[in-house]
Chain A
Amino acid sequence: MRIKVIVSIFFIVAILMAFIPYQIKSLIPSNWPKPVYDFTKNEPSIAKINLGRVLFYDPILSQNNTISCASCHLQYTAFTHIDHALSHGINDKIGTRNSPTLINLAWNKSFMWDGAVNHLDMQALAPIAHPAEMGSSIDAVVTTIQQDIYYKALCFNAYQDSILTGERILKALSSFELTFISADAKYDSVMRNQAVFTAQEANGYLLFKQYCASCHTEPLFTNGLFENNGLREDSLLTDKGRMRITNDSTDLHKFKVPTLRNIEYSYPYMHDGRFKKLGEVLTHYTSGIDYYPNLSAPLNKPIILNSNEKVDMIAFLLTLSDRHFLFNKNYGYIRKDNSSMLQSKD
């Protein structure tokens, strides 16, 4: 009798755990804007995040089983491809752009450097299908992983049904990526009055607010818009930026303003990774601007920084490094046959 009770309690707990929603809200600072992502259409749960996490690290998404999302988006470098100006995909093919960081994606209004993708759920379709990235297709991915007993189990835990579909795979990937919330850098501690800037950092912050904050708006350090920041077009890549999507000549060489959070770790910089160091980035803004007709308006006024001020500015930018984010164990690789994940359903 007692055994029966224990067993049934165990089952009830296991079933309840499958439905525990993942409290993304608890990770978001109270003074932040409302997320853009509509969580009501994709209720987060630990089981969905687990499925997304396994997929994120699985090269099964690529044509020849060599490239996973994590190949170009490594956690320890703020989910970008460190040391590679341009990212490489299957068969060592080189793409045309620097892989962006994956930080605070719930607030992104659009995805990719040119905003080609309008929703986080749909973003994964682009690298999966791109011939120089994963070279596969979402239907090939569904067909392959549908034959995998572990994925069927993970899918069952996440959706109470073991049939994998494009929608379920994409929403699980979103669920995992939406947990990439970076809000615990020194900057955030200072804003919460739990720490203070050094004199250098404080001066850098003032300069930042004067010259950079109109596009790299706090607290996300991006306004989510597209701007021409005066970079000369690379003659080999001939990347037209946002204009590729809109066919509007006023969008020529406009790229999405990236977040500056964890910038210390996300080098190289710019859409084509042309700058290796933050100093080079500052030099571009102070003396390297090409004055295009559609140049971002604030850049028409020259930015003048002496060498001390540049050092202060960099000191401030380093306060945006969030080590809790970069080394958060919940973002790391996990085996799909991980027994605790499959049994306890959480």
Chain B
Amino acid sequence: MRQLIINILLLVNCIIAWSNNPTDISFLPTFNQEKLQLNHYYKHNENDSIQITNLKFYISNIAIYRHHKLIFKESNSYHLIDYTNNTNPTIFIANTFIKKNSSISFDIGIDSITNVSGAMGGDLDPTKGMYWSWQSGYINFKLEGNTNLCPLNNHFFEYHIGGYIAPNSSIQHVDLSGHLNTHNTIEMKLDELCNHINFASQNNIMSPSVSAVDMSKLIKHSFSLK
């Protein structure tokens, strides 16, 4: 009898453990099908090379849909994905019993209400290097590096993409459908993004502008569900 009770308790425990097993989403930046390594030289086009020295961005407003029906929405959903601190940027969300025909949606960047709501903590703390000081607003996406294609400034490029006021709002909404599992990887193809950037004519974007919005659209299309 006692053995039976223990067995039942173990079974219940297993079920609880299984249902508490969180779903995770990793963001994997790649360059030419390889996992991105900062400060590593990659071949770009035929004869050029490129080095990425900094990659940081905000993912916010994560939601999961099944058959186009919302089944999960993360509250207070703001994540700074930072490749400079050498950890695998993974977001854990509650188990949502994900199966086929699911889709995940998120925003790249910070919504306008948060942008006007004063000082925030955690990933939104202005010490994270993702908030402009001379003008209010979060930097949604930061990409820095160098390539021989940039003629000036020691071939350095700096793209700090932000802006929350129309027409220069650069937050982008991404919808990715496919088969979601307990472990999911969202790939960001930096080589594709870099192929669309004209490094020779524009080696920096540092404020809300039409070019920042254009770049944010390119960034949006570099994400895919692996």
Q: Which residues of A are at the interface with B, using a C-beta cutoff of 8 A? A: 38, 41-42, 116-122, 125-126, 128-130, 137-139, 142, 165-168, 170-171, 174, 245, 247
B207 to chain A, nearest CB (A): 9
A-B contacts, CB under 8 A, total = 70
Identify which of B124, B125, B134, B136 contacts A130 (C-beta below 8 A). Answer: B134
A194 to chain B, nearest CB (A): 36
Secondary structure of the A contact surface, majority rule: helix
Please state if A117 and B135 are interface contacts (CB–CB under 8 Å). yes
B116 within 8 A of A: yes
Residue picked from B119, B124, B125, B136, most chain A C-beta under 10 Å: B119
Please state if A118 and B115 are interface contacts (CB–CB under 8 Å). yes
Please state if B118 and A166 are interface contacts (CB–CB under 8 Å). no
B209 within 8 A of A: yes
Interface residues on B, range: 20 to 34
Q: Which residues of B contact A42 (CB under 8 A)?
A: 118-119
Q: Which residues of A contact B127 (CB under 8 A)?
A: 138-139, 142, 165-166
Please measure, in the bound complex, the distance between the C-alpha atom of A142 and the C-alpha atom of B129, giving whole angstroms.
13
Please state if B133 and A139 are interface contacts (CB–CB under 8 Å). no
Please state if A119 and B116 are interface contacts (CB–CB under 8 Å). yes
A43 to chain B, nearest CB (A): 13
Please state if B209 and A122 are interface contacts (CB–CB under 8 Å). no
Secondary structure of the B contact surface, majority rule: loop
Please state if A167 and B135 are interface contacts (CB–CB under 8 Å). no
Interface set, chain B 94-138, CB cutoff 8 A to A: 115-121, 124-129, 131, 133-137
Q: Which residues of B contact A121 (CB under 8 A)?
A: 118-119
Q: With A119-B117, A122-B119, A122-B131 as given contacts, are A167 and B125 in contact (CB-CB < 8 Å)? A: yes
Q: Which residues of A contact B126 (CB under 8 A)?
A: 122, 125, 138, 166-167, 170
A-B contact pairs, 8 of them (CB 8 A): A41-B117, A118-B137, A125-B133, A139-B127, A167-B124, A167-B125, A171-B118, A245-B135
Q: Give me 7 other A-B pairs in contact (C-beta within 8 A), A118-B115, A122-B119, A171-B118 excluded.
A: A41-B117, A41-B118, A116-B136, A142-B127, A165-B125, A168-B121, A170-B119
Closest B-chain residue to A141, C-beta based? B127
Q: With A118-B136, A119-B136 as given contacts, are A139 and B119 in contact (CB-CB < 8 Å)? A: no
Please state if A122 and B129 are interface contacts (CB–CB under 8 Å). no
Q: Which residues of B contact A167 (CB under 8 A)?
A: 119-121, 124-126
B182 to chain A, nearest CB (A): 33
Please state if B125 and A122 are interface contacts (CB–CB under 8 Å). no
Please measure, in the bound complex, the distance between the C-alpha atom of A165 and the C-alpha atom of B120, giving whole angstroms.
10
Residue picked from A38, A125, A137, most chain B C-beta under 10 Å: A125
Q: With A125-B131, A142-B127 as given contacts, are A165 and B118 in contact (CB-CB < 8 Å)? A: no
Closest B-chain residue to A123, C-beta based? B136
Please state if A139 and B129 are interface contacts (CB–CB under 8 Å). yes
Q: Which residues of A contact B209 (CB under 8 A)?
A: 247
Ranked 5 nearest A-B pairs via Cβ: A129-B133, A121-B118, A121-B119, A166-B127, A170-B119
Please measure, in the bound complex, the distance between the C-alpha atom of A6 and the C-alpha atom of B224, giving whole angstroms.
66
A100 to chain B, nearest CB (A): 16
Identify which of A128, A137, A142, A166 contacts B119 (C-beta below 8 A). Answer: A166
A46 to chain B, nearest CB (A): 19
Identify which of B115, B121, B134, B135 contacts A165 (C-beta below 8 A). Answer: B121
Closest B-chain residue to A172, C-beta based? B119
A131 to chain B, nearest CB (A): 10
Closest B-chain residue to A127, C-beta based? B133
Q: Which residues of A contact B131 (CB under 8 A)?
A: 122, 125
A26 to chain B, nearest CB (A): 23
Q: Which residues of A contact B137 (CB under 8 A)?
A: 118
Please measure, in the bound complex, the distance between the C-alpha atom of A138 and the C-alpha atom of B134, giving whole angstroms.
12
Please measure, in the bound complex, the distance between the C-alpha atom of A221 and the C-alpha atom of B118, giving whole angstroms.
25
Please state if B136 and A122 are interface contacts (CB–CB under 8 Å). yes
Please measure, in the bound complex, the distance between the C-alpha atom of A7 and the C-alpha atom of B124, giving whole angstroms.
42
B175 to chain A, nearest CB (A): 29
B12 to chain A, nearest CB (A): 37
Please state if A174 and B125 are interface contacts (CB–CB under 8 Å). no
Please measure, in the bound complex, the distance between the C-alpha atom of A168 and the C-alpha atom of B120, giving whole angstroms.
9
Identify which of A38, A119, A130, A174 contacts B133 (C-beta below 8 A). Answer: A130
Please measure, in the bound complex, the distance between the C-alpha atom of A247 and the C-alpha atom of B209, giving whole angstroms.
9
Q: With A126-B133, A247-B209 as given contacts, are A38 and B118 in contact (CB-CB < 8 Å)? A: yes
Closest A-chain residue to B165, C-beta based? A246
Closest B-chain residue to A122, C-beta based? B136
Please measure, in the bound complex, the distance between the C-alpha atom of A129 and the C-alpha atom of B126, giving whole angstroms.
12
A128 to chain B, nearest CB (A): 7
A256 to chain B, nearest CB (A): 14
Q: Which residues of A contact B120 (CB under 8 A)?
A: 167
B141 to chain A, nearest CB (A): 19
Please measure, in the bound complex, the distance between the C-alpha atom of A120 and the C-alpha atom of B134, giving whole angstroms.
13
Please measure, in the bound complex, the distance between the C-alpha atom of A168 and the C-alpha atom of B118, giving whole angstroms.
11
Q: Which residues of A contact B115 (CB under 8 A)?
A: 118
